[in-house]
Structure 1
Amino acid sequence: MINVLCFGDSNTNGTNPAGGRHPRDVRWTGRLQRLLGDDWYVIEEGMGGRTTVYNNPLEPHRSGIEALPIALVTHRPLDYVIIALGTNDMKDMFRADARAIAAGVDMLVQEVKHTGNRGQDTPRIVIVSPILLRPGIGESPFIGFREEAREVSLKLAPEIRKIADREGCLFLDGAKVAEASDLDKLHMDGENHAKMARALADLLLADRAAD
């Protein structure tokens, strides 16, 4: 089996902008499993509110840098690790600009590289930069975002791509393939989960074919 760990936030967990949680066959992780086929094993590790490195006193236990080592050791050996974080770093309490958020992603990349993989090579790392926050994010039912966060989201992909290029990671600009729903300005509907899954499947299959 080709093992793929999907480490992300609520858009990996499948929060439905209309309320509740998308079913597994709607979430991009479940769709990715179907697209890749039975030779692949897609592991969903998404958590609402998860950041790259920040601790949120209103939502405890959401720091990615604390949770990632546990996930890596739990599921090893791994062939791929998809890191899809950064959206929650844009909450006002963290005061993080695009460069700071990219630095948080870099710390996660280093964690993958320095965590043992049960005698196998370091997993191939895929970094997904977040979809854009929609205008009106300051009025979203999910608290913590100010309207200025929209501008940070517009600047994220180039900064995160620099990390991916420097560290030899695969990169997907999430904002080029999917978008947030206008219902909550933050989360993907089923159609956009499908688009994200398709883009990631194409990326992984192309990488595997070139290996």
Structure 2
Amino acid sequence: MKTILAYGDSLTYGANPTPNGPRHAYEDRWPTVLEQGLGGQARVIAEGLGGRTTASDDWYTNADRNGARILPTLLETHSPLDLVIIMLGTNDLKPAICGLSLEASYGMRRLVQIIRGHYAGKNETAPQIILVAPPLICDSPNADMMGHFGGIEHALNQSGQFAEHYANRAREWNTGFFDAATVAVADPQDGVHLDAANTRAIGEGLVPVVKQALGW
């Protein structure tokens, strides 16, 4: 059986777009849906943390949100791995953290380097990697959420560039690529998070991409 690490933020965690709403049910989270779609041939380990960035610090939070710093620990914890799926970058768009989708793509590049370097150091075969461009931020009356992302104009502009930049990094580093915006849209309740149906859609959309990456 293959082992897959799903590395992400609140969209992987299953955060609810309703303010203070409950976490999506286990069966509605995209890593669960992906595992089911693979028909028992792989287990998918969900590592989603709200607020996680690709490679930047967020000093406002009470947990380490820097995805580059915690990744080696998770690789060591869950090894051996056959595939790592990375869907990060939305939190990088906050001006207080990073602000640009291009810089987020460089953070994704750093994560690829960390994965390959980690396994080279162990003299083991590195897992396959799929970079996932997150769903687009959408307009929302939630002023606090939109403010986190520098206002709706900035948020829409930068999230709209995810796919282009991430596809470029995937080509440069010979990884898989998937644009989650082709199957999922954010809920206007907060403009960032997904309802249960759109969360499930990411897992469903990834099934053929994962099968290709694993040579099935």
TM-score range for the pair, normalised by the shorter chain length: over 0.9
What's the TM-score once normalised by structure 1's chain length? Answer: 0.93
1:133 to 1:115, Cα distance in 2 relative to 1, 3 A: same
**Contact in 1 for aligned 2:54/2:111 (Cα 8 Å):** yes
Find the aligned partners of 2:105 and 2:173 in 1 and give their Cα distance. 12
* 2:171 matches 1:169: no
1:97 to 1:137, Cα distance in 2 relative to 1, 3 A: farther
Letter in 1 for 2:139: P
Question: Could you tell me which residue of structure 1 aligns to residue 131 of structure 2?
Answer: 127
Give the Å deviation of 1:136: 3.2
* 2:67 matches 1:77: no
The equivalent position to 1:204 in structure 2, one of 183, 196, 210, is 210
**Contact in 1 for aligned 2:89/2:101 (Cα 8 Å):** no
* 2:138 matches 1:157: no
Residue ranges of structure 2 left out of the alignment (5+ in a row): none
1:7 to 1:130, Cα distance in 2 relative to 1, 3 A: same
Question: Could you tell me which residue of structure 1 aligns to residue 37 of structure 2?
Answer: 35
Question: Could you tell me which residue of structure 2 aligns to residue 52 of structure 1?
Answer: 54
> How many equivalent residue pairs?
210
Question: Could you tell me which residue of structure 2 aligns to residue 139 of structure 1?
Answer: 143
Find the aligned partners of 2:15 and 2:142 in 1 and give their Cα distance. 18
Give the Å deviation of 1:207: 3.0
Work out the percentage of aligned pairs sharing the same amino acid: 33
Find the aligned partners of 1:22 and 1:136 in 2 and give their Cα distance. 20
Question: Could you tell me which residue of structure 2 aligns to residue 109 of structure 1?
Answer: 112
**Contact in 1 for aligned 2:146/2:191 (Cα 8 Å):** no
Give the Å deviation of 1:138: 6.6
1:138 to 1:152, Cα distance in 2 relative to 1, 3 A: farther
CA RMSD of aligned residues (A): 1.8
Residues 98-135 of structure 1: per-residue CA shift (max 9 Å, x gap): 22111111001100111127654210000001110002
Structure 1 residues 59-68 or 4-13, which shifts more?
59-68
Question: Could you tell me which residue of structure 2 aligns to residue 3 of structure 1?
Answer: 3
